[in-house]
Structure 1
Amino acid sequence: MPCSVPAPRRLPEPFPEDAAGTLVRTTLADYPGRLAAAVFLRGCNLRCPYCYNRALVLPDGGGEGFVGAGDILSHLAKRRNVLSALVISGGEPLLNPLTPQLIRAVRSLGYKIKLDTNGTLPRLLEQFCASAELRPDYVAMDIKTAPQRYAELVPRPGGSVQPPSQFPAAAGTAVPPDGAALAAALRESAALLAREYEPDCREWRTVLVPGLVGERDIEAAAALLPCDAQWYFSPFRGGGCLDPAFDALPPYSDSDMQRLVAAARRTIPSARLR
């Protein structure tokens, strides 16, 4: 007989049931060693010019293809004997008030949780890691460029893309535009993950964006990480970027990417292209 599937928990307001984010119903690429689903939640405190998730990042980014929290939980309840994990990404999921409730509900269905974060919110990350209910089983942290350059990725009032406003409750945790404070936040998040997780339960990720990630940037970023870090690099691909100027940006050649990964390996031996 088929196993009994508990009804998904209903999530309370203020979450828009029809616009929580986007759902990848099945993925082999996002949680190492597990067949998973992945949800990309709305809201972010950075404005990376090469980001292709405009609808998630900008408050007025539109909601085409968005699903509600109830749809996410219903899918996971139905697929329990096939899937074993949920990846919660964004945007920046630590800013979205849906994230903790989603973790509780999904964990009650027996799923493992992977959290993707940009590393700029160490206080929130620490709260999740310290909670038995909310602690992710696996964490991936982005390294977007050298720590001292992160101020280039922060939204500016009056700019073409505005700071996030859709989650007022998280306003006190918004990342400051000060470069030194951002670098300190990244160091704190990286140290937290190195301390709290075994090497096979944490990773760092970098997109090789020309002009934003060069050899010196990689050397500076490598100093943040433990020597046993899993550090994965991926090629930049233009198209639908937050800053349209990046759509036509030529990616690095294969030889240039290999050179940059070799620079990372001087400090982090396991660094590799993915």
Structure 2
Amino acid sequence: MTRIADFASHLGLWPNSRTMRSQSRARHRPIRAISTAGLVLFGLLVLSPIVLMFSDSLRSDADVDAHPLGIPVHPEWHNYSAAFHEMNFSRTLGNTVLITGCSALVVALTGSMCAWSIVRHARRWSAITYQVFVAGLALPIFVLITPLYQLMHQLNLLDSFMGIILAYTALGLPFAVFFFTSFLRSVSVELEEAATIDGCGVIGTYWHVVLPMLRPATATLIIFSSLSVWNDLVLPLILLTSDSKKTVTLSVYSTIGTHSYSVGQLLPTVVLGTVPLFVIFLILQRHIVAGIGAGATKG
């Protein structure tokens, strides 16, 4: 059959493979061009608010009121120096990094331990425990504010880093357990059985086998937990009262007045609070792709 097709193509009665590939590329070229143009347009739409925010942060309030979509002809960099000193950026950034990092790590460790126990050491209470954690995903934060505040007050953990880290850990555990449980159910148990046969205990199996196996999922969970904790305003506003423990979001919120706000004062603080998280996300974005890809492959 191949010889007949080659002979027919040699006589011009049947197109050869090279001609068919060129025709296919010609047909798909307009579609690719439209797709590329659509992606570029979507990217510009996504980036336009960020560019506008940075542009307006270098302008005065009068200039922004006169030309809302204008560009800074004479950039006022002193807006950033004033915002840096007013929000005490180094201290608030350190507080935010401490709270975010500790909360994400504790959520990842405790959530992976609980999920591993539910999946690999099934008991009568395992299904009920898993359902309780999943039910926690449906509870909005505003329902938990009052009992959480009363609990922290009784434990003398108000206005403390320990208290807010524990609060974020409790609120992040339902999603962590659900996330790790779904991942572990698609992973083979053979490596864990081999570790048990070699004499490895429960803690050793978790630390040397399970935790490295969960590395892509753990990296993804830590990144998403960090994003939610970093951008949160509700818990720091309620549980932290002293200026020495302010987070970035609280410092940004403090620049907004009761009836008005200054663009030259607000937007530089927003940029200063966003840039560190944006840089961290760019550095660790490959871990997100790896975690999603691993989950899709195992699923």
CA radius of gyration, larger in:
2
Higher RCO (CA 8 Å, separation ≥ 6 residues): 2
Same fold at TM > 0.5: no
Greater share of helix: 2
TM-score bin, normalised by smaller chain: under 0.3
* Structure (1 or 2) with the greater strand fraction: 1
